[in-house]
Amino acid sequence: MIGYLDTSAFVPLIIQEPSTSACQQFWSDSDAVVTSRPTYVETAAELAHAKRLRRLTTAAHRAGLEALNTLWREMEIVEADDRLVRAAADIALTHGLRGYDAIHCASAQQLADDDLVTAAGDAGLLSAWMASGTSTYDTNQPKRHRHVR
């Protein structure tokens, strides 16, 4: 299986969240893990936010950034080029997605692989992927794995 992670499925691999075990299982079950380039900045921003809220200590924040870089090297990255960004703009309009969610949707659709399963905790993004015929994994309800192909 090719596993595509949006940021909501990637961050729990670094910071303990209710969906951490589901995200870890998804990572383990995937033969290859893929995400879009903007996931890096979204994750770094989420770690910084957790530090500002004192959810992470300075040492835990530093460890989180190290984990981000370690995991990042293990993934395949979809580049957000002009073609992908324009496709994402259309997806945002069609499905009412926010910018980065639309980029994740377009990134996964670009892969067009029968073994692709997309993981997220965002209902709108999951719905858009399902509408495009992409198999999904809801990290908030891991027993609800939808194969739509």
Q: Is the Cβ–Cβ distance between 22 and 142 less than 8 Å?
A: yes
Q: Is the Cβ–Cβ distance between 23 and 139 less than 8 Å?
A: yes
pLDDT, tens digit, 9 for 90 and up, residues 89-141: 999 999 999 999 999 999 999 998 889 999 999 999 999 999 999 999 999 98
Give residue 149's pLDDT: 43
Give residue 145's pLDDT: 57
The whole-model pTM stands at 0.92
